[in-house]
A and B are shown apart, each in its own frame.
Chain A
Amino acid sequence: MFRRFAISLLLVMVGASAWGRTRPHYGGVLRVEIEGDPWSGPDGLARGLVLDGLTRLGSDGTVQPALAVQWQSDDAAQHWQFRLRSGVQFHDGSLLTATAVVDALNLACNANCPWTAVHAVGSSVAFTADSPTPNLPALLAQDRFLVALPVTADGATPANPIGTGPFRFTSSNNGVLTLAANEACWAGRPFADSIEIRGHRPIRDQWLDLSVGRADIVQVPPEELRQAQQQRLAIFASPPVELLALQISTSGVLANPMLRESIAAATDRSALFNVIFQKQGVVTASILPQALTGYSFLFNADRDLNKAHELRGGLAAPPLVLSFDGDGAMQLAAQRLALNLREAGFDVQVSDANHSPRPDLALRELPLEGSDPAAAMEIALRAAGEAVSVTARSSTSLFRAEHEFLDRKTLVPLLDLPRAYAIGQRVRDLALRADGTPDLASASLEDAP
């Protein structure tokens, strides 16, 4: 497992330059192509470039200061106070204030928030929660809690996000989003002068653009990694940053835990791994990956069809709807899982998530972020809609908490998946962030003037 991960990292290849490599150059236009929308979803690179959070996860997964420079909580971790960095300006020139942050967070989170109240206290933002939230600093680093200016000075709602990040929005034409360097960025001016993000671009077109020099950074989905290697693309691959999991409803016939357990026993992870994802990622039956806890192997990932039949006990469940969101690989994976479940006697129909708002089963990609296992588990579970607070700290107590949660059979972990990007020869100093996306603000261009 570790060897395969190490080999994945060795895929990182950087084009040789004519002269010795130097410190990063300033200038130039970085061209990025993605399959999804630049402003939303896991591909939403633009949000992280334009907006900052109170905290951020460093590339090593630790929580780092961002718009907040310090934070503290009471002993119960129910009251938190985050002191804001002074002198930070939004891209429109207005000053970052605690009130603006509070308004932005209230807009960003109206359900399943890790706090019950948030309010401004001078130059600090205070959070209150009904139960202990020891992982709040890590939770606030998530994409959904990035701070966008809610209202401009003239009282209008901005048409495009205005933030404090390293790049500011300039235009969106013909499917290309253009962002310009924020000269006054609190974290330092980014190296590239501007970034052009072309969204909704099919993977094959991205690779073609990369090969003819029309793009600098393109996506490589996990199932295409082998193909990208064969095409000798220069690849940056992350460690596992996404958990592919099957979420099982507890309503209707699936309120019966035996049926949920039967579904879990019927899933064939090795088929997903070998066929759909082309042996990329890691088969798992735990929420957190082995590299984060060291105990993932304790969860049995083998399929047991006999047990699935036995648990179902001849119950004739009504047709179940299995939804998926995302790209083609997710659809194929959902169809494969439906096949698994039919073999166990379930009648399963596969449907796009947009067409089935309340499915019985949902194939989900959950984030695996950060180096703190407890925080990573809470982030993943909250993304699955579970309003939980993970307070466990030692390996033993964390294992127990994870075991207890998985015993409910509402979430069936399947695969840990990496994120990968291919880069052109102009790109230098590119690193991946904790969520596996490229840190474009720290990337520079070899041929920058």
Chain B
Amino acid sequence: MRDAFRRVPQSQFHEASNGIIRANEKISKEMKTMMRFGLLAVLCGWLSLSANAVPAQSPWEQPAAALAEQIAGILGPGQMRLTFRNLSSIPASELPDIQRLLEQDLKTRGVTPAGDESANAVRITLSEDARQRLWVAEVIEGDQTQVAMVELAPAPPASTPAPSGLLLRKDTILTTRAPILSALEVGNALVVLEPDQIVLSSRAANGWQELKRVSIPTTDPLARDPRGILVTSQDGASFEARLPGVRCTGSLLSAGAATDWTTSCSASDDPWAIVTPPAGTTSSTSVASGASVLRAFYNATRNYFTGVVSPSLDVELPPFYSAALLPRAAGKAALLVAGIDGRVQLTENGAVSLVAGTRDWGSDLGMIRSGCGTGTQVIASGSGEAASDSLRAYELPTLEAVPVSAPLAMQGAVTAIWSAPDAKSLYAAVRTAPNQYEVDRVSALCN
């Protein structure tokens, strides 16, 4: 099937790169010949020395050479006036280097910059569009103008400064074009829940390699704000996926072997497990009646939990978007919920209380056992007032949330957060751009 978006074909710059690859292949053939003559040791030594002697390449070398090649092809050897302008995001500090490279490449092709006396002129414009950088040369000979272009990769995204205080840090583990509702990273396997599919990947040298994709059978229409969860069994051998009206289960132990990996889905309106004890531990905290797992009914036609939970907490919970369990003294626990009215409430000792200091919170929250401070922090998404979302750690010694970290800037809108099976880290699904999503692993470092 044809991809929904067509890529612009390879540019001249890319063609130049391919030329270099072909040159390397040629070297490889020569090596084989030399090995036959017993010169392996000498060659290895030579290659080693050569590798050490190669200076760091400027990223502008190849595009400058490609553009110079085209200009020389139009003008032929001779003199010309050369002018530069920059309409791109390339910093001004880089321009002298680019200009020097171009002049050098032109000279080697017999085209030399001259003064105003030359009838020929070359006007270089460093430009860009939404997808790529574009270097344009307008080659003017008398009243004739010809244009040469070289396409370059787009500018890399700017790095974000590190926050101070209790340090939240993130590592991006996955980027996709499909929305991600939840993900489980277990050993060398990654299970990802998308709105209509479950995806199994295995760890590879350059990230995660997709092994298998299973469609989730559902008769309901898609949700406009899709949500779902993935939880592991207590022994960590299997997982349960929940989507509105559907429950799927699958094995984790065989996840590394894609052929053996099976899932099973069925229609279900049963409540979702929103609070589970950390995998591999015995429950040290209980939210109600000694139960270690708290389940909540999800409104399948909307995007929130109804407030009805199992087992009952003997209090009336408001409809809520997300919840986290906070350990309290003597093995007890309190349930923190982000209500659909924007209020954050804490259920503890049979009472529901409003939590102050949550004005900046969004509707997604999770818990992390960092071992720092009180040992457990709440991680809340930002209110969405800013252009990009953020995550921040809080502690709740009383009924007021106290920030204990600087906001961790995310690369877009946080659409879901959930704790890792061991609760030592937390994951965030982020929409970084339209049709661009990523999963970030967020951990806390004690300062």
Contact flags A67-97 to B (C-beta < 8 A → 1, else 0): 0001111000000000000010000000000
B224 near A441 (CB under 8 angstroms)? yes
Confirm or deny: B304 has a beta carbon within 8 angstroms of a beta carbon on chain A.
yes
Contact residue range for chain A? 35 or more
User: Once bound together, how far apart are the Cα atoms of A394 and B129, in whole Å?
Assistant: 13
The distance from the CB of A7 to the nearest CB of chain B, in whole angstroms, is: 14
User: Once bound together, how far apart are the Cα atoms of A184 and B4, in whole Å?
Assistant: 25
User: Once bound together, how far apart are the Cα atoms of A62 and B8, in whole Å?
Assistant: 13
User: Once bound together, how far apart are the Cα atoms of A17 and B342, in whole Å?
Assistant: 10
Confirm or deny: B408 has a beta carbon within 8 angstroms of a beta carbon on chain A.
no
Q: Which residue of A lies closest to B151 (CB)?
A: A395
Q: How many A-B residue pairs have CB under 8 A?
A: 147
Confirm or deny: A382 has a beta carbon within 8 angstroms of a beta carbon on chain B.
no
User: Once bound together, how far apart are the Cα atoms of A188 and B222, in whole Å?
Assistant: 5
User: Once bound together, how far apart are the Cα atoms of A187 and B302, in whole Å?
Assistant: 13
Confirm or deny: B176 has a beta carbon within 8 angstroms of a beta carbon on chain A.
no
A26 near B302 (CB under 8 angstroms)? yes
Contact residue range for chain B? 35 or more
Taking CB atoms, residues of chain A closer than 8 Å to B384 are: 21
Confirm or deny: A134 has a beta carbon within 8 angstroms of a beta carbon on chain B.
yes
Assuming the contacts A72-B1, A294-B134, A394-B151, asked whether A184 and B221 have C-beta atoms less than 8 A apart, the reply is yes
Stretch of A33-41, A270-278, A285-293, A301-309 with 4 or more beta carbons under 8 angstroms from chain B: A285-293
B1 near A22 (CB under 8 angstroms)? no
Taking CB atoms, residues of chain B closer than 8 Å to A291 are: 129-130
Q: Which residue of B lies closest to A70 (CB)?
A: B1
A23 near B321 (CB under 8 angstroms)? yes
A20 near B344 (CB under 8 angstroms)? yes
Contact flags A293-325 to B (C-beta < 8 A → 1, else 0): 111011000000000000000000000000000
Interface SS, A side: loop
Taking CB atoms, residues of chain A closer than 8 Å to B221 are: 184-189
User: Once bound together, how far apart are the Cα atoms of A409 and B375, in whole Å?
Assistant: 72
User: Once bound together, how far apart are the Cα atoms of A1 and B87, in whole Å?
Assistant: 9
User: Once bound together, how far apart are the Cα atoms of A63 and B127, in whole Å?
Assistant: 25
8 Å CB contact of A395 from B2, B125, B149, B224 = B149
Confirm or deny: A421 has a beta carbon within 8 angstroms of a beta carbon on chain B.
no
Confirm or deny: B370 has a beta carbon within 8 angstroms of a beta carbon on chain A.
no
The distance from the CB of B105 to the nearest CB of chain A, in whole angstroms, is: 19
Confirm or deny: B303 has a beta carbon within 8 angstroms of a beta carbon on chain A.
yes
Taking CB atoms, residues of chain A closer than 8 Å to B343 are: 19
User: Once bound together, how far apart are the Cα atoms of A21 and B344, in whole Å?
Assistant: 11
Confirm or deny: A359 has a beta carbon within 8 angstroms of a beta carbon on chain B.
no
Give A417-449 interface residues, CB cut-off 8 Å to B: 441-442
B304 near A23 (CB under 8 angstroms)? yes
Q: Which residue of A lies closest to B359 (CB)?
A: A20
A60 near B434 (CB under 8 angstroms)? yes
Contact flags B1-45 to A (C-beta < 8 A → 1, else 0): 110111011011000000000000000000000000000000000
A298 near B147 (CB under 8 angstroms)? yes
8 Å CB contact of B8 from A59, A188, A393, A441 = A393
Q: Which of A19, A137, A185, A297 has the most B CB atoms < 10 Å from its CB?
A: A19
Q: Which residue of B lies closest to A80 (CB)?
A: B2
The distance from the CB of B22 to the nearest CB of chain A, in whole angstroms, is: 21
Confirm or deny: B260 has a beta carbon within 8 angstroms of a beta carbon on chain A.
no
Assuming the contacts A20-B358, A23-B225, A187-B222, asked whether A59 and B434 have C-beta atoms less than 8 A apart, the reply is yes
Contact flags B118-143 to A (C-beta < 8 A → 1, else 0): 00000001011111111010100000
Q: Which residue of B lies closest to A134 (CB)?
A: B6
User: Once bound together, how far apart are the Cα atoms of A292 and B11, in whole Å?
Assistant: 16
Taking CB atoms, residues of chain A closer than 8 Å to B336 are: none
A290 near B338 (CB under 8 angstroms)? no
User: Once bound together, how far apart are the Cα atoms of A6 and B341, in whole Å?
Assistant: 33
Taking CB atoms, residues of chain B closer than 8 Å to A187 are: 221-222, 224
Confirm or deny: A14 has a beta carbon within 8 angstroms of a beta carbon on chain B.
yes
The distance from the CB of A20 to the nearest CB of chain B, in whole angstroms, is: 4
User: Once bound together, how far apart are the Cα atoms of A399 and B385, in whole Å?
Assistant: 41
The distance from the CB of B339 to the nearest CB of chain A, in whole angstroms, is: 8
Stretch of B72-80, B233-241, B271-279, B360-368 with 4 or more beta carbons under 8 angstroms from chain A: B360-368
Taking CB atoms, residues of chain A closer than 8 Å to B133 are: 294
B383 near A62 (CB under 8 angstroms)? no
Taking CB atoms, residues of chain B closer than 8 Å to A87 are: 219
Assuming the contacts A71-B2, A134-B6, A394-B8, asked whether A191 and B224 have C-beta atoms less than 8 A apart, the reply is yes
User: Once bound together, how far apart are the Cα atoms of A133 and B177, in whole Å?
Assistant: 26
Confirm or deny: A44 has a beta carbon within 8 angstroms of a beta carbon on chain B.
no
Q: Which residue of B lies closest to A441 (CB)?
A: B224
Q: Which residue of A lies closest to B364 (CB)?
A: A23
The distance from the CB of B363 to the nearest CB of chain A, in whole angstroms, is: 4
Assuming the contacts A187-B221, A399-B149, asked whether A22 and B4 have C-beta atoms less than 8 A apart, the reply is no
Assuming the contacts A72-B1, A297-B87, A442-B224, asked whether A20 and B362 have C-beta atoms less than 8 A apart, the reply is yes
Assuming the contacts A25-B340, A399-B149, asked whether A394 and B222 have C-beta atoms less than 8 A apart, the reply is no
The distance from the CB of A404 to the nearest CB of chain B, in whole angstroms, is: 13
Q: Which of A72, A134, A395 has the most B CB atoms < 10 Å from its CB?
A: A395
Q: Which residue of A lies closest to B220 (CB)?
A: A184
Give B321-354 interface residues, CB cut-off 8 Å to A: 321, 338, 340-344
Confirm or deny: A99 has a beta carbon within 8 angstroms of a beta carbon on chain B.
no
Confirm or deny: B301 has a beta carbon within 8 angstroms of a beta carbon on chain A.
yes
User: Once bound together, how far apart are the Cα atoms of A372 and B363, in whole Å?
Assistant: 35
8 Å CB contact of B147 from A190, A399, A442 = A399
Q: Which residue of B lies closest to A63 (CB)?
A: B4
The distance from the CB of B356 to the nearest CB of chain A, in whole angstroms, is: 12
Taking CB atoms, residues of chain A closer than 8 Å to B4 are: 55, 62-65, 71, 137
Q: Which of B223, B302, B343 has the most A CB atoms < 10 Å from its CB?
A: B302
Give A315-365 interface residues, CB cut-off 8 Å to B: none
Taking CB atoms, residues of chain B closer than 8 Å to A70 are: 1
Confirm or deny: A257 has a beta carbon within 8 angstroms of a beta carbon on chain B.
no
Q: Which of B5, B8, B138, B384 has the most A CB atoms < 10 Å from its CB?
A: B5
B224 near A294 (CB under 8 angstroms)? no
The distance from the CB of B379 to the nearest CB of chain A, in whole angstroms, is: 14
A22 near B302 (CB under 8 angstroms)? no
Instruction: Using A294-B136, A295-B134 as known contacts, list a sample of 10 further A-B pairs with CB atoms less than 8 Å apart, ordered by residue number in A.
Output: A19-B359, A23-B340, A60-B435, A184-B221, A188-B225, A189-B301, A291-B129, A297-B127, A372-B5, A395-B151
21 inter-chain pairs at a CB distance below 8 angstroms, sorted by A residue, are: A20-B338, A20-B342, A23-B363, A55-B4, A62-B435, A71-B1, A71-B2, A72-B2, A189-B223, A191-B224, A292-B129, A292-B130, A294-B128, A295-B136, A371-B5, A393-B8, A393-B9, A395-B11, A395-B151, A396-B147, A396-B149
Instruction: Sort A-B residue pairs by CB-CB distance and give the 4 closest, nearest first.
Output: A19-B342, A188-B224, A60-B434, A294-B134
